Amino acid sequence: MPLSHYNSDGEAAMVDVSEKAASKRTAAAHAFVAMSAEVLAALPSNKKGDPLQVARVAGIMAAKKTADLIPLCHPLPLSHVGVEFSVESDGIRITATAATSAQTGVEMEALTAAAVAALTIYDMTKAMDKGIAIREIFLLSKTGGKAGDFVRA
């Protein structure tokens, strides 16, 4: 299967979606921030503020800037971006969702939201432990578009 982001001369190119009909598209992405129980316990008393609330806003803002960060992404009119957290014994699980009605999908927006939310948590907690690790960034699901739906097994 040829890569879609190259033209006939083998040069990087933005995909032309002008002939595609707009349709509802959604995506969900995952990230995990692994940290010690001590760092988790200190989250409510963080001097910089609540890391999860700041990370939620950062993830939403990042999704809206995806086309500025990823060179060949189309700017999309996002109708929804959500960032949710699950605090677990060994870290924080992040689920980011994005939705639009457009000519191309929102996978990159959901992935960007999850990644930047994870980076923000790291930034706000790194003073307590430089060993915090961001891992497991991946697409959970997507709906809409010519390629159809996807759900990670």
Domains with residue ranges and CATH for the chain: 23-143 (3.30.70.640)
Per-residue pLDDT of the chain (153 residues; tens, 9 = 90+): 566 777 777 778 778 787 788 899 999 999 999 999 999 999 999 888 899 999 999 999 999 999 999 999 999 999 999 999 999 999 999 999 999 999 999 999 999 999 999 999 999 999 999 999 999 999 999 999 888 999 999
Residue-level pLDDT at 2? 60
**Phi first, then psi: what are they for 145, rounded to 5°?**
85, 170
Beta carbons of 107 and 97 less than 8 angstroms apart: no
What CA dihedral angle connects 99, 4, 139 and 75, to 10 degrees?
Answer: -30
Distances (CA, A) of 134 to 35, 144, 151, 152: 9, 29, 22, 20
Amino acid at 87: V
Residue among 9, 16, 50, 123 flagged as catalytic: 123
Residue-level pLDDT at 11? 79
Q: What does pTM read for this prediction?
A: 0.91
Decide if 123 is catalytic.
yes
**C-alpha span between 2 and 70 (Å, rounded):** 20
Amino acid at 1: M
Neighbouring C-alpha atoms within 13 Å toward the C-beta of 73: 20
**C-alpha span between 125 and 141 (Å, rounded):** 29
Sheet-wide strand order for 78-88: 78-88, 91-102, 23-34, 133-143, 150-151
